[in-house]
Structure 1
Amino acid sequence: MKKSLTLLLCGLIMLLTACSGGSKQTSGEEEKEKVVKIGISQLVEHPSLDAAREGFIVALKDAGYVEGKNLKIDYQNAQGDVNTNTSIAQKLVGEKNDLILAIATSSAQAVVKSTKDIPVLFTAITDPVGAQLVKSLDKPGGNVTGTSDTHPEAIKKTIAAIKTFVPGAKKVGIIYNSGEPNAVVNVKNAKIALKAEGLEPVETSITTSSEVKQAAESMAGRVDALYIPKDNTVVSALESVIGVVNSRKIPTFVGEGDSVKRGTFASYGLDYHDLGYSTGKMAVEILKGKKPSDIPVGFPENLQLFINKKAAQQEGITLKEDLLKGAKIVGE
């Protein structure tokens, strides 16, 4: 009898131990870290937008969100195509991502139009209010916020630099895509700045990147300098502009520093990697529970004069060392 009771108790103990072990395993599965899904819609490939995307991902990584571990990123690029841009927005919304990042104005507009529920962040946007992405910069409202790449003084300082480095300039050419809302805003502000400096704008608008070279060639003999705003279509074909301005000796000023690194002469710009990083920090706040409507739109804090000495030589610009004080020299 005692032997039977002992065997029964041993059996019960083994059974309880097994159940306990199984329960612990189930608990471990339940506590498995959630994988965050983030969709990224980018209008076109060019260094500034690429750098913003990379900075965004680095900020997530620094906060503990790592691809392949607890983060899944679906990166889509429209390659400048309007219809593809819309399809990408619908795809990312349909796949129910936890958050969507839109890079450039047209991409942001398409995503914002496609969802009122999923949190949306934008970056590399010229005029978030004018593009109807947010109600105001301080109080965005809805499910959208992000960062603008337009420092209030950037265009003014870049246009003023034309008078500094090309003192005899009278006419300044502008190439832009009239279908890009961000480019239209930049050109409007550039024309105001040109007028303030006593310079005359000479505009040429294009619709596709294949038209950029011809537009640049049309400026030869008509202008004393060229200004290229933050225009994704033109910047995506920047090398075709550089070939023309080098052969025709046209000093070229641009809307952002990455284009100077690629071979144009000068710009008062910002670091797009830093801009993307700031946007990534916003994403972390949202993933931890903060509402996009409670996060004000961010702006670049600092401007830097970018100068490409090699481009200066190729574009026929004589540089004096006193004009380079405080400038970031690139392209050497």
Structure 2
Amino acid sequence: MQLKALASAVALSLLSLSAAHAAEEKSVAVTAIVEHPALDAVRDGVQAALKDAGYEAGKNLKWQYQSAQGNTGTAAQIARKFIGDKPDAIVAIATPSAQAAVAATKNVPVVFSAVTDPVAAKLVPGWEASKINVTGVSDLLVLEKQIALIKEVVPTAKRVGMVYNPGEANSVVVVKQLQKLLPEAGLTLVEAAAPRTVDVGSAARSLVGKVDVIYTNTDNNVVSAYESLVKVGQEAKIPLIASDTDSVKRGAIAALGINYRDLGEQTGRMVVRILKGEKPGDIKPETSDKLELFVNPGAAEQQGVKLPQALVDKAAQVVQ
């Protein structure tokens, strides 16, 4: 009888511990429109911030990650699947995935990241606390600084080419802003549409002979296929300037951009606040003001220009 009582006590104790663990465990589901270095860095930064706050996958955190592989239909399927799993928060990386998640739920907290203009993308009504289930971190850049970089790298430039996906809200916002800002700097914008990743190379080739420099924002189609853009830049001697610093490692001449690992950690800290009980609608969307300059002198030579030494000297990273 004593053994039975002891066994029962142990069993009850184990059940109690199991229930306590289940009660403590949190669930975070992460979705990205595509995999490329910048978005991968956001994902990893989110996970690192969660771990720093004591939420670790396999211990007290259920962590899910799925990429839509560039397909908006797949992004919607992933969003619906995640909603069914009832996580404590969904992290949606890049505008198409964020739009899919926000369209799929009004209840599950959604934290967007790497979204240039969440208001234009209709994720939140404004830059104040949304009072709905959505908040997040934007990678919005001050375009005047991007234009200044273009002029510093290619002082003689008059025509700026831009390859972008007209179906991506982030890119459309940037194009509209550049159409207004470039003429004020004595420059004009020449656009080339790349609705799919496979269109990036042909869109870049369509700019040959029409532009003096090509600027790229964080358009996911373009970043995913950046090597095809670099090939055109090298062959036609058209300098490439990016806003994604990882693109410099892949062949852009220079980029003044956000550290996406830092952006992910900033996003992760926001998720932690939600896991600890704050409502997403009470948290204002944030931006990052930590810009880094990356330069690639070797790529500059291949694309027919020489970087000013003053620019190289002030770079956070010189890619060789």
Q: Same fold (TM over 0.5)?
A: yes
How far 1:20 moved relative to its partner?
Answer: 5.0
Q: Pick the aligned partner of 1:71 from 34, 53, 61.
A: 61
User: What is the RMSD computed on CA atoms of the aligned residues?
Assistant: 1.8
Contact map agreement 2:21 2:60 (CA 8 A) in 1: no
Name the aligned partner's letter for residue 17 of structure 2.
Answer: G
* C-alpha distance in structure 2 between counterparts of 1:20 and 1:110, whole Å: 48
* C-alpha distance in structure 2 between counterparts of 1:222 and 1:69, whole Å: 56
Structure 2 residue aligned with 1:29: 18
* C-alpha distance in structure 1 between counterparts of 2:40 and 2:14, whole Å: 43
Q: Pick the aligned partner of 2:71 from 81, 86, 93.
A: 81
* C-alpha distance in structure 2 between counterparts of 1:322 and 1:81, whole Å: 42
Q: Pick the aligned partner of 1:269 from 257, 260, 263.
A: 257
Contact map agreement 1:76 1:88 (CA 8 A) in 2: yes
Structure 2 residue aligned with 1:6: none
Structure 1 residue aligned with 2:158: 170
Name the aligned partner's letter for residue 72 of structure 2.
Answer: V
Q: Which has the larger radius of gyration?
A: 1
1:113 matches 2:103: yes
Q: Pick the aligned partner of 2:31 from 24, 41, 65.
A: 41
Q: Could you state the TM-score of these two structures normalised by the residue count of structure 1? A: 0.91
| % same residue | 45
Gaps of 5+ in 1: 1-10
Name the aligned partner's letter for residue 140 of structure 2.
Answer: T
How far 1:191 moved relative to its partner?
Answer: 2.4
3-state SS, counterpart of residue 174 of structure 1: strand
Gaps of 5+ in 2: none
* C-alpha distance in structure 2 between counterparts of 1:258 and 1:212, whole Å: 17
1:207 matches 2:195: yes
Name the aligned partner's letter for residue 91 of structure 1.
Answer: K
Q: Cα–Cα, structure 1 residues 280 and 170, in superposed 2: closer, same or farther, change >3 Å? A: same
Contact map agreement 2:297 2:306 (CA 8 A) in 1: no
How far 1:21 moved relative to its partner?
Answer: 4.8
Structure 2 residue aligned with 1:320: 308
Contact map agreement 2:294 2:319 (CA 8 A) in 1: no
Name the aligned partner's letter for residue 128 of structure 1.
Answer: P
Q: Cα–Cα, structure 1 residues 327 and 32, in superposed 2: closer, same or farther, change >3 Å? A: same
Name the aligned partner's letter for residue 302 of structure 1.
Answer: K
Contact map agreement 1:267 1:305 (CA 8 A) in 2: yes
Name the aligned partner's letter for residue 314 of structure 1.
Answer: Q
Q: Cα–Cα, structure 1 residues 18 and 46, in superposed 2: closer, same or farther, change >3 Å? A: closer
Aligned pair count reads 319
How far 1:23 moved relative to its partner?
Answer: 4.5
3-state SS, counterpart of residue 90 of structure 2: strand
How far 1:279 moved relative to its partner?
Answer: 0.6
How far 1:35 moved relative to its partner?
Answer: 2.8
1:1-332 paired onto structure 2 within 5 Å:
21=10, 23-33=12-22, 34-151=24-141, 153=142, 155-332=143-320
3-state SS, counterpart of residue 266 of structure 2: helix
* C-alpha distance in structure 1 between counterparts of 2:65 and 2:110, whole Å: 14
How far 1:301 moved relative to its partner?
Answer: 2.1
Q: What do the CA deviations read for 1:64-98 (whole angstroms, capped 9, x no partner)?
A: 11111111222111111121111111111112122
* C-alpha distance in structure 2 between counterparts of 1:248 and 1:158, whole Å: 23
Name the aligned partner's letter for residue 51 of structure 1.
Answer: A
* C-alpha distance in structure 1 between counterparts of 2:8 and 2:79, whole Å: 48
Name the aligned partner's letter for residue 106 of structure 1.
Answer: P
Q: Cα–Cα, structure 1 residues 142 and 218, in superposed 2: closer, same or farther, change >3 Å? A: same
Q: What do the CA deviations read for 1:155-186 (whole angstroms, capped 9, x no partner)?
A: 21121222212111111111111111111001
* C-alpha distance in structure 2 between counterparts of 1:18 and 1:167, whole Å: 81
Contact map agreement 1:270 1:300 (CA 8 A) in 2: yes
* C-alpha distance in structure 1 between counterparts of 2:187 and 2:10, whole Å: 80
3-state SS, counterpart of residue 306 of structure 1: strand
Name the aligned partner's letter for residue 101 of structure 1.
Answer: V
* C-alpha distance in structure 2 between counterparts of 1:213 and 1:23, whole Å: 64
* C-alpha distance in structure 2 between counterparts of 1:307 and 1:82, whole Å: 33
* C-alpha distance in structure 2 between counterparts of 1:25 and 1:209, whole Å: 52
3-state SS, counterpart of residue 31 of structure 1: helix
How far 1:244 moved relative to its partner?
Answer: 1.0
